[in-house]
Each structure stands twice: as structure tokens, then as C-alpha cells.
Amino acid sequence: MRNLIYIIILSFAVAASWWLARNLSKEQDNISGRDLKEPKRGFYLRDAVLHGTSEDGSPEYILKAERIDQNLAQHSFDATVIKLTLNDEGGPPWLVKADTGTIPADQSYIQLNGGVRAVRDQPDPTFSLESQSMRLLTEEKVAETSDLVIIRFGQQQLTAVGMRAYFNEDRVELQSKVHGNFTP
């Protein structure tokens, strides 16, 4: 009878330790899974305004965003609702808007995503570039995309897949599938 009591107590202890170890393991998995899904964040800014300058200190661009978050894991900054003014030495500035963007720590480029539109207000007509994503090389003042791009010049419209725009040179290179209608 005494052996039966020891066996019952021992069985209960084994079952309790198994249950405890199993539940603690699940909690650890949930914590580490959550940590892997969410990027590590540092500081954040609301209604942020960043001024980019060249090596000699002259203004290159002004970036305004509703919010900028530091992404520690990627060594970058994530921005939402972006309005960018890109100064041009030879003419009026380019105005660029996008839903979101990512800026690496060295600020060599800005990756713009979602409803990207670059407009140059000239006396007449207005010139614009539209795409779902665009990488803007800030120092070179070059924009590039491999996505569909729509170019509007006044009432004229041109579409292409892939583009490289040289803002300082007022030149655009289209990659493929170029279509357009021009009315006199």
C-alpha cells in the first residue's frame, strides 16, 4: 500500500513537471516569435522636417513626413506620408510625394513607395513622373524605378516600364514597353 502511495505521488510530480515545462516553453516561443516579427525601433519623430545638404553645406532637399521611425534592425529610418522638395541648380525645385519611404543611415538614397509622384512646376506645362515605387539617389539627384511609370507633360501622356530620371539634366531614360499619344 505504501508503494502505491509513492507511485501515485511520483506520477503526479512527473505529470506536474511535464505540464509546467510545456507551458513555460510555449511562453518563450510567443515572446521570441513576437520579437522576430516586430522590427526593433529606436526613436520616432512626428511632423518631422529633415534638411539634406551637400558636402559644401548647400541645401539638397527638404523632407517632410508625418512620422519617422528609426529601424535599429535595418539601420534605417521608415517614414510615412512624405513630401520632398528636391532643389535643382538650373530651375524650379522638384516636388515629390509618397505614402511611405525608407532612408538608410548614410542617407545616400530614399526608397519611396505607394503613390509616388514627382512634379516640376514649370511656367507651362507641368511635368510629372508617377509610379508605385521610386528610388531617389539624393546626391546625384537621380530617380529610378523598375515599375510602371506614367509621364505627363501638359495634356500629353507616356507610359513605360522602368525609368531613370536625371533631375539636374532634365533628362529621362525609359527602359521598356514605352507607349504614348501626342496630340498637336
pLDDT at 131 over 90: yes
Residues 6+ apart with CB under 8 A from 47: 64, 66
| Whether 26 and 55 share a structural domain | no
Q: Extract the C-alpha cell encoding 59.
A: 541645401
Average pLDDT of the segment spanning 128-153 = 89
8 A C-beta contact, residue 118 and residue 132? no
d(CA 71, CA 29): 23
| Whether 76 and 61 share a structural domain | yes
pLDDT at 31 over 50: no
Q: Extract the C-alpha cell encoding 102.
A: 525608407
d(CA 5, CA 54): 82
Q: Between residues 35 and 17, which one has the greater pLDDT? A: 17
| Whether 120 and 155 share a structural domain | yes
> Of the candidates 63, 95, 61, 62, which has an alpha carbon nearest to the alpha carbon of residue 79?
63
* Number of domain units in the chain: 2
Q: Extract the C-alpha cell encoding 46.
A: 512626428
| Whether 33 and 63 share a structural domain | no
Instruction: State the residue range of the domain holding 8.
Output: 1-38
**Entry pTM:** 0.70
d(CA 3, CA 9): 10
Q: Between residues 138 and 160, which one has the greater pLDDT? A: 160
